[in-house]
A and B are shown apart, each in its own frame.
Chain A
Amino acid sequence: MADYKIKVWRQSPLGIGPGGGEGPGGKEGKFETYTINNIDSDLSFLEMLDILNQQLLQENNIPIAFDHDCREGICGACSLVINGVPHGPESSTTTCQLYMRHFEHNSTIIVEPFRAKAFPVIQDLVVDRSAFDRIMQAGGYISVHTGAATDANTVLIAKQSADDAFTAATCIGCGACVAACKNASAMLFVAAKTSQLGLLPQGQPEKTNRTLKMVQQMQLEGFGNCSNHYECEAACPKNIPASYIAQLNKDFLISSFTNKEFECQNDNCYES
């Protein structure tokens, strides 16, 4: 059993608190520190926050809002920057799979939301990651005819391509790459999503359009540029390597000069 001080970001941009008043942290947001005692070392970080929220409710306070869903490390819903690292100090781990045994007794844990212009705070630690959805809508798909599924191995795929596409496909779209990047760039996410489809034969017909559209959408959403720091790779809970960014760079270079169909959404392609 261990005790902790949890310094957590509280913010209510919508300004809705109990009785229509200002919510916790106000519109601008601020850190609040809470003390939590007798935490079992085998509890996950989110379970610790559940207990803290229970405590807040019992004290008649508004609980801390945070994102979560499967709590199995596969859905990409959980976020949080814990002590300066997205998904906490353990590598290859989502916040929901992070356990309290990794934190020292009586330590102060600083919990912040993912920070990026493209990820505005909705409430406390919950950020709006729909920018990723819009990037996917811009081209992160393949168009196929409906009907019966084709026989297996009708389209032959090299083992290396299949493996590389699969590694890219393990991206859960959590946004840790954006949170970790000093420039709040979404390049690793976009690279994983374009490579997942672009490395397979089924993704070829729309490859150049997909690459150009997704990169354009990424920029329009207000993400930063890649400085090859590879903080994204280090923070990625699914260990997606930054070499996919090199693949995206190459695909973009080729697509820019071979695609004749791509049209910008506005006069200036990359500024909203």
Chain B
Amino acid sequence: MKHLSQFIFSPIGSKIIMALAGTMIFLFLIGHVLGNLLIFNGSDSLNTYAHWLQNNPLLWVFRLTMLGLLSLHIFIALRLYIQNKYARPISYQVDKDIQLGFSEKTMIVSGLLIFIFIIFHIGHLTLGWLPTTSLAIDNNIKMVNVYENIVNGFQVSWVALFYIVSMLIIGLHLHHSLKSLFQTLGFHNHNLHWLVYRLTPIMIAVLVLAFISIPAAVLMGWIQ
């Protein structure tokens, strides 16, 4: 136990925990997008899937686990961010980036924007904050019509655009995160180079495009 607490508060240990929490969230995103893509299979597929999820006895266990992982990820990120600011109290007159990329430089900003998006997303499609979504039971199908909620929701163009931009920001955040993951967990050698620098950008692009395809398809009128 003593070793665990020492590890958690160490500069490397806390990063490893943040990386593992982030990885779990990333794996959730893959599952989430696969479920979402059922929308292209018609309303019955998506609604049946959504109904199964909503009535699953493990739903709240899963939700609370995700909330815990997200809170842990954000808490450690902010703690490290503050520590890092203290480590250089006087900044440089000329602060030049030698090889620093946009994704690396904007991690804290993209992270905060994603957090705002998550709140909006839950409010929009789970809690029905906007008038376009209804949590009422659809009498025809005897369950909440998730398909209709999504289509109605994304027919409001600013909502669809907000989702699309947010997905791009998630892609930006993941671009640095996935590369970092291997480094933080100590896997960084020549054999893994192709995985880190070739495969992960493709994985991120596929994930982001899959998410974007839904609001884009509604906006274009392909899903009605």
A: residues with CB less than 8 A from B are: 7, 9, 31, 81, 83-85, 110, 112, 115-118, 180, 182-185, 215-216, 218-219, 222-231, 234-235, 242-243, 245-253, 256-257, 262, 264, 268-271
Contacts and interface: CB of A to CB of B under 8 A. Distances in A.
A110 B96 CA distance: 12
18 contacts: A7-B93, A83-B96, A84-B96, A85-B98, A117-B88, A222-B87, A225-B14, A227-B104, A228-B183, A229-B105, A231-B97, A235-B98, A242-B183, A246-B187, A250-B186, A253-B16, A256-B7, A256-B10
Please indicate which of the listed interface residues B7, B87, B90, B105 has the most CB atoms of chain A within 10 Å of its own CB.
B87
A182 B86 CA distance: 11
Given A183-B88, A184-B87, A225-B83, 4 more contacts: A81-B92, A110-B93, A246-B189, A247-B188
> Majority SS of interface residues in chain A?
mixed
Contacts of A118: 87
Please indicate which of the listed interface residues A182, A228, A235, A262 has the most CB atoms of chain B within 10 Å of its own CB.
A228
B6 A269 contact: yes
A256 B13 CA distance: 9
Interface string B170-207: 00000010011011111111000000000000000000
Given A228-B180, A249-B184, A270 B11 contact: yes
Contacts of B136: none
Contacts of A182: 84, 88, 100, 105
Interface in B96-132: 96-100, 104-105, 107
Interface in B1-32: 3, 6-7, 9-16
Contacts of B100: 182, 229, 231
Nearest to A11: B90
Contacts of A183: 84, 87-88
B86 A117 contact: yes
A248 B186 CA distance: 7
Given A85-B98, A235-B98, A253 B89 contact: no
Contact of B182 (A219, A230, A246, A262): A246
A7 B93 CA distance: 10
A164 B89 CA distance: 35
B88 A184 contact: yes
Contact of B99 (A7, A230, A256): A230
B140 interface: no
B139 interface: no
B186 A115 contact: no
A238 B187 CA distance: 23
Interface in B55-97: 80, 83-84, 86-97
A246 B86 CA distance: 24
Nearest to B11: A225
A224 B84 contact: yes
Contacts of A216: 10
Contact of A246 (B80, B99, B186): B186
Nearest to B9: A270
Nearest to A252: B12
B12 to A, nearest CB: 4
B3 A180 contact: no
A118 B96 CA distance: 21
Contact of B84 (A184, A234, A246, A264): A184
A250 B185 contact: yes
B9 A269 contact: yes
A85 B98 CA distance: 7
